[in-house]
């Protein structure tokens, strides 16, 4: 009985074998080249240890081997059946092989996960530039950011170009800036030629750079604070509140006898003041309408100085312990929580009624912990791979918590604020010139080191290519 297939069926089989052999060969070569690139260029260590192995390399090696073996078997079958002698078959096979590169590339992109690299940047300040003091977000949706240095404040538009500039007074300097910008108004303390830092309070419209008002106040201390409709500062002898929009003085509250102010924070309902007194470091709560002292509380003091976390709700950290207060100044019991440092590379983030902070785990790595500012409860802890450091915290436009971690690679995470679970895979940030101190606003990074060789700001975008 003759089992030889008809000539047309045999030709179709030969063409399919040849096309499949070309397709698997193309993918095998593509994956081999990509494996070499990841191993030679992207791998941070000589071996894949301590997180130094590029993400997806192990699976990519496996699929390169599978594609190579499949291609070898198909080529053997095509040669054995002499299906390589058809010009039409070769044309179809080469076309299929080229087309197969696209799904092969998509598979590689899926295996390695999301990546971002440099999109645009502002040229470095150059030698002689003053040390940066901090940054504000003007319009996060448009990517507008503001960066302050001792010699002035500069706004950058969404494309990284200079939008406006506010220089320091002649012979003077910018001393400090508020952390908050309610109603698009930020506060600066300046020094003039006749005074040490600082003796002038300035309110700035962060969208235009316009000075809204200016007040000369002798012997300002620490950073100003903008909260609700108030601008609050501390001087050598008093706490002062001004209307945030007009600069009109609302009240002046003298410091207790012998007290030295260290920090103030303003909220809609109260103003908090940390001051050194003859009893140690005390936290004072002042009424937002009159400045009268509502209550005072002696803060625990350890190796690190106490700091105010939030004015509304009222919360502070002393001796590594978060303390929250009710309206009468009674500290909440809270729950047993990890040690909360008051110093570190990553600043705290307060979003809503929750504090997000980097906390150490037995001096081995850093964890991100969330604490309720209503009752002091420890809500959740998020661990990251290996010994990665937490470099920056920010709240994104969707309400998630953006976290930049650094280990063998720099990653950008977006976490659910309620649970700490990541919203998808982390994004690898490639080839970014980051200093030790920086801020993140959306996709815009602001370098805050005094290294004038670093770009002051830059934006990132999804990586195109390998």
What 3-state class would DSSP assign to 87? helix
Bridge partners of residue 360, in order along the sequence: 366
Report the pLDDT value the prediction gives residue 93, as an integer from 0 to 100.
Answer: 83
- Asked if residue 138 lies in contact with residue 441, where contact means CB atoms within 8 angstroms, the answer is no
Which uninterrupted H or E stretch holds 98? Answer: helix 87-112
Strands 173-177 and 144-149: unpaired
Angle between the 57-80 and 87-112 helix axes, to the nearest 10 degrees? 170
How many Å apart are CA 34 and CA 202, to the nearest integer?
A: 55
The Cβ of residue 9 has, within 10 Å, a number of other Cβ atoms equal to: 10
Task: Output the six-digit token pair for 370.
Answer: 């969330």
Which uninterrupted H or E stretch holds 441? Answer: strand 438-441
Spatial CA neighbour of 226 closest among 184, 262, 198: 184
Spatial CA neighbour of 189 closest among 209, 171, 207, 169: 169
Bridge partners of residue 275, in order along the sequence: 261, 282
pTM above threshold 0.85: yes
Report the pLDDT value the prediction gives residue 335, as an integer from 0 to 100.
Answer: 54
Q: Write down the residue that tokens 């929580």 correspond to.
A: 337
Question: Residue 215: what are its φ and ψ, rounded to 5°?
Answer: -130, 130
- Asked if residue 456 lies in contact with residue 446, where contact means CB atoms within 8 angstroms, the answer is yes
Report the pLDDT value the prediction gives residue 1, as an integer from 0 to 100.
Answer: 47
Report the pLDDT value the prediction gives residue 350, as an integer from 0 to 100.
Answer: 92
Report the pLDDT value the prediction gives residue 304, as an integer from 0 to 100.
Answer: 83
- Asked if residue 197 lies in contact with residue 189, where contact means CB atoms within 8 angstroms, the answer is yes
Task: Output the six-digit token pair for 85.
Answer: 């002698």
What 3-state class would DSSP assign to 464? coil
Ranges of the chain whose pLDDT falls below 50: 1
- Asked if residue 255 lies in contact with residue 208, where contact means CB atoms within 8 angstroms, the answer is no
Q: Write down the residue that tokens 């983030």 correspond to.
A: 349
Report the pLDDT value the prediction gives residue 115, as an integer from 0 to 100.
Answer: 93
Q: 198-244 pLDDT, tens per residue?
A: 899 999 999 888 999 999 999 999 999 999 899 999 999 999 999 99
38 Cβ contact list (under 8 Å, min separation 6): 54, 56, 57, 60, 112
- Asked if residue 243 lies in contact with residue 200, where contact means CB atoms within 8 angstroms, the answer is no
Question: Residue 82: what are its φ and ψ, rounded to 5°?
Answer: 55, 35
- Asked if residue 225 lies in contact with residue 180, where contact means CB atoms within 8 angstroms, the answer is yes
How many Å apart are CA 66 and CA 72, to the nearest integer?
A: 10
- Asked if residue 427 lies in contact with residue 114, where contact means CB atoms within 8 angstroms, the answer is yes
180 Cβ contact list (under 8 Å, min separation 6): 186, 225, 226, 227
């Amino acid at each position: 009985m003759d089992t030889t297939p008809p000539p047309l069926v045999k030709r179709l089989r030969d063409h399919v074998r040849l096309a499949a052999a070309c397709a698997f060969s193309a993918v095998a070569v593509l994956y081999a080249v990509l494996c070499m690139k990841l191993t030679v260029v992207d791998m941070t260590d000589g071996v894949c240890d301590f997180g130094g192995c590029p993400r997806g390399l192990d699976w990519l090696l496996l699929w390169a081997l599978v594609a190579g073996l499949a291609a070898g078997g198909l080529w053997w079958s095509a040669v054995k059946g002499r299906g390589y002698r058809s010009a039409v078959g070769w044309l179809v096979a080469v076309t299929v092989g080229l087309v197969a590169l696209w799904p092969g590339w998509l598979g590689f992109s899926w295996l390695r996960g999301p990546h971002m690299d440099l999109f645009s940047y502002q040229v470095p300040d150059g030698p002689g530039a003053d040390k940066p003091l901090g940054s504000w977000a003007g319009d996060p949706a448009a990517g507008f950011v503001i960066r302050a240095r001792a010699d002035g404040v500069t706004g950058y538009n969404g494309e990284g170009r200079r939008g406006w500039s506010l220089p320091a007074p002649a012979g003077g300097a910018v001393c400090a800036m508020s952390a908050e910008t309610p109603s698009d108004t930020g506060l600066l303390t300046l020094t003039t030629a006749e005074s040490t830092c600082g003796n002038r309070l300035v309110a700035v419209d962060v969208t235009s750079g316009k000075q809204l008002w200016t007040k000369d106040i002798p012997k300002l201390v620490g950073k100003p604070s903008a909260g609700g409709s108030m601008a609050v500062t501390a001087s050598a002898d008093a706490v002062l509140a001004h209307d945030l929009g007009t600069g009109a003085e609302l009240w002046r509250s003298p410091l207790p006898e012998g007290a030295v102010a260290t920090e103030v924070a303003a909220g809609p309902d109260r103003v908090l003041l940390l001051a050194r007194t003859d009893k140690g470091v005390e936290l004072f709560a002042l009424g937002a309408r009159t400045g009268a002292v509502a209550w005072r509380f002696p803060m625990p003091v350890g190796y690190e100085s106490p700091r105010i976390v939030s004015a509304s709700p009222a919360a502070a950290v002393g001796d590594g312990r978060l303390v929250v207060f009710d309206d009468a100044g009674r500290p909440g019991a809270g729950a047993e929580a990890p040690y909360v440092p008051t110093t570190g590379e990553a600043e705290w983030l307060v979003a809503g009624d929750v504090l997000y902070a980097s906390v150490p785990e037995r001096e081995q790595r850093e964890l991100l912990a969330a604490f309720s500012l209503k009752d002091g409860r420890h809500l959740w802890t998020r661990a990251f791979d290996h010994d990665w450091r937490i470099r920056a915290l920010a709240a994104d436009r969707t309400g998630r918590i953006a976290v930049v971690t650094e280990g063998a690679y720099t990653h950008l995470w977006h976490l659910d604020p309620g649970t700490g679970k990541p919203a998808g895979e982390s994004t690898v940030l490639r080839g970014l010139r980051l200093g030790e101190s920086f801020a993140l606003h959306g996709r815009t990074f602001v370098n805050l080191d005094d290294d004038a060789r670093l770009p002051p700001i830059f934006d990132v975008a999804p990586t195109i290519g390998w």
